Structure 1
Amino acid sequence: MKKMKIYFNRWFSVAFHYMNAIRNNEDGVQFEIYGTHPDPRHMSLQGCDHAEVEPALQGLEYVEWCVEFCRRHQIDVFIPRLRMFHISKHVHLFDAIGTKVIVCRDTELLEKLMEKDKFYESVAETGIMTVPAYHVVNNAADFKKAYEDLTGRGLRVCFKPTNSEGGLGFRIIDNNRNPLQELFGHVTKWISFDEAYKVLSSQETFQDVMVMELLEGFEYSIDCLSDAEGNLLAAVPRRKAGGRLRLLDDKPELLEIAKRVAQTYRIPYNFNIQMKYSGDTPKLLEINPRMSGGLHVTCLSGVNFPYLAVKLALGGKVAPQTPEYGILASHIEQPMKMRTAAETAKTL
């Protein structure tokens, strides 16, 4: 039986687990996995059957390089992370060579997801879930007004660039800190209003920043699988439960939100909704139209999210899944012998 060829471009280290999940699928389908990354010793490449060093390219030039890679190796399914928006914009180039791409083809939606304020506006219009109180600012005077408005409502305040990924640029305003103690301690995400205002005042304008209410309840990452028609096939809310512990939790209100997101935005394959509670109300942080960094933990629910996305891309039928909830999970490091740089990044 011919092995299906899967290609991951530059991904997080946890792609190592996604590759193994696809290999160890319940249908017994055989796969050959290809990967590229600028770092020939990157952990994700250790999960590949074939690996290659990725060039530093931008925009369409990078997309064309990926197309040529897929054509040269007769890739059946491409699972991108880097330059996902540009790949979606030019996905017809992959269609032309017969490579299926696990990506959301709605480029207008992808642009909104990249700019959190625009997506918050979209969500507020639909009413499918609650967003935090926020202001978008790009100068120090407006930053101060936003801070005063939110604190005047009795809210604690945080801020973050509108287009950052993960925790980059995220700061919490705390005016009761001890700067000297912090100087000799760990690098911190806390900052006083005066310190933030002073830094921001050094520029007449700066990139758009969301000044938001600080949500202080449990934070959930909801891993989802959906088809292109907006049918939610699986959803598993996952939260930190202290230290390295993670709880796969049965939260009906979060499962209902996942269903509404799937129906409203029709993000195909894997996507992830991040929410945090304010009292009893879950509020949106962001949505990632891709596999999350903790998806391998969520797969302990019995749902093979990476493989089922590949199965959908190849035209297979995937029935609604029945995840196991209430699982308390963790992880330990395991030593492994790395392949040498030459072995890992061999020319194919």
Structure 2
Amino acid sequence: MTRIYFNRWFSVMYHYIRAIRENPEGELFEFFGTHPDLNHMSLLETDYKEAEPSITGLPYVEYCADFCRRHRIDVFIPRLHMEDIVRHIHLFDEIGTRVMVCRDRELLEAMMDKRTFYESVRSRNLVEIPDYEVVQTAGQFKEAYERLAAAGHNVCFKPTRSEGGMGFRIINNTTDRLAELYGYVTLSTTFEDAYRTLASQTRFGDLMVMEHLEGPEYSIDCVADQEGELLVSVPRHKAQGRMYRLEDNPELQSLSKRIAKELRIPYAYNIQIRYNKGVPKLLEINPRMSGGLFISCLSGVNMPYLAVNAVLGKPAVPPKPRFGIKAGYIEQPLIME
């Protein structure tokens, strides 16, 4: 029986575990999870759970390595503190635990910082990137906004180091403020509101002010082997609300192959693309399983299980996903105990 450990993950870890358990070969697995909140939904499908301590850096990595040693973990699938884990990957090698993480430290650190990654991608001529500037003061923010707006762009901004939609805002100066106050919470803000907030600080963390991409958005879930050889990619079009369509998009399939060949990212990762005026532009690459991976698995490809086999070094025949699938998701009540 193979033992798999997830450290602090999102609630979608529940779906990853279910997919691996329900693998077509009937392989048996035992799952271990840690999280500061033992009632977190991510732990619901684990066979053993433990509360994580509030530590960072090397002490946190040592905690994870000790957890793997104590529970004879075969595969460790980290989300939290991946960069620290790669810096001290020898701690896991020494006890025989395989880690599902990109070991190329320079590449991993670049993917975790949008400014560094955009500069790297631009130099390799891999894929178009949005126009952007990185700022640290309100004055720089104002100048960047004015330059991008003068170039004909709608403008948005986001911290260079963040996950998902955290910190993302769209500048909209024509909004009806009263209607917005009475309506749903939105991602929009006016330039004046953003500037006033930023001006309250002399200097702030790197903020990327960029062209707002307004065309179709795609999330491309990928799985590669240990050497970064692409096994499968599934473009997932984000439609309205919770609706998605799994598309056999030749342009995005070609882009995925080009990125895989150049960057050699191993195991499971996710490419975020959005079109603007017919041109696909890169938002980011997440070096981990995505939050919507369980939707892409409706293609008939068990992507979490495929990634586990990849980290274990098992040979794999590239699967053929089904496309043209319209999909969505709903909440489901679950008994916790």
* Aligned with 2:18 (options 17, 20, 24): 20
* Aligned with 1:258 (options 256, 259, 277): 256
Contact 1:227 1:266 in 2 (8 A): no
Deviation at 1:97, TM superposition (A): 0.3
Deviation at 1:319, TM superposition (A): 1.6
The aligned residue for residue 100 of structure 1 is: 98
* Aligned with 1:239 (options 237, 251, 256): 237
Contact 2:295 2:327 in 1 (8 A): yes
The aligned residue for residue 151 of structure 2 is: 153
The aligned residue for residue 31 of structure 2 is: 33
- Structure 1 segment 312-323 matched on structure 2, within 5 A: 312-323=310-321
Structure 2 Cα separation of the partners of residues 190 and 336 of structure 1: 34
CA offset digits 1:177-233 (Å, max 9, x no partner): 122222233322211112212222222221111110110001100000112323110
Contact 1:224 1:271 in 2 (8 A): yes
Deviation at 1:314, TM superposition (A): 1.3
**TM-score, structure 1 length as denominator?**
0.94
Which secondary structure state, in structure 2, belongs to the residue aligned with residue 160 of structure 1? strand
Which secondary structure state, in structure 2, belongs to the residue aligned with residue 212 of structure 1? strand
Contact 2:226 2:311 in 1 (8 A): no
**TM-score, structure 2 length as denominator?**
0.97
Contact 1:157 1:214 in 2 (8 A): yes
The aligned residue for residue 135 of structure 2 is: 137
Task: Return the letter of the residue paired with 2:106.
Answer: E
Give unmatched runs, 5+ long, in structure 2. Answer: none
Structure 1 Cα separation of the partners of residues 197 and 240 of structure 2: 34
The aligned residue for residue 207 of structure 2 is: 209
Regions of 4+ moved over 6 Å: none
- Structure 1 segment 164-313 matched on structure 2, within 5 A: 164-313=162-311
Structure 2 Cα separation of the partners of residues 232 and 313 of structure 1: 13
Give unmatched runs, 5+ long, in structure 1. Answer: 340-348
Which secondary structure state, in structure 1, belongs to the residue aligned with residue 323 of structure 2? coil
* Larger relative contact order, structure 1 or 2 (CA cutoff 8 Å, min sep 6): 1
Contact 1:274 1:286 in 2 (8 A): yes
Structure 1 Cα separation of the partners of residues 143 and 333 of structure 2: 51
The aligned residue for residue 54 of structure 1 is: 52
- Asked whether 1:120 is paired with 2:155, we answer no
CA offset digits 1:43-100 (Å, max 9, x no partner): 1111111111111111110110111111111011111111111111111110100101
Structure 1 Cα separation of the partners of residues 151 and 330 of structure 2: 43
Contact 1:223 1:235 in 2 (8 A): yes
Structure 1 Cα separation of the partners of residues 242 and 270 of structure 2: 20
Deviation at 1:24, TM superposition (A): 1.0
Percent identity of paired positions between Structure 1 and Structure 2: 58
Which secondary structure state, in structure 1, belongs to the residue aligned with residue 310 of structure 2? helix
The aligned residue for residue 345 of structure 1 is: none
Aligned residues: 337
Which secondary structure state, in structure 1, belongs to the residue aligned with residue 44 of structure 2? helix
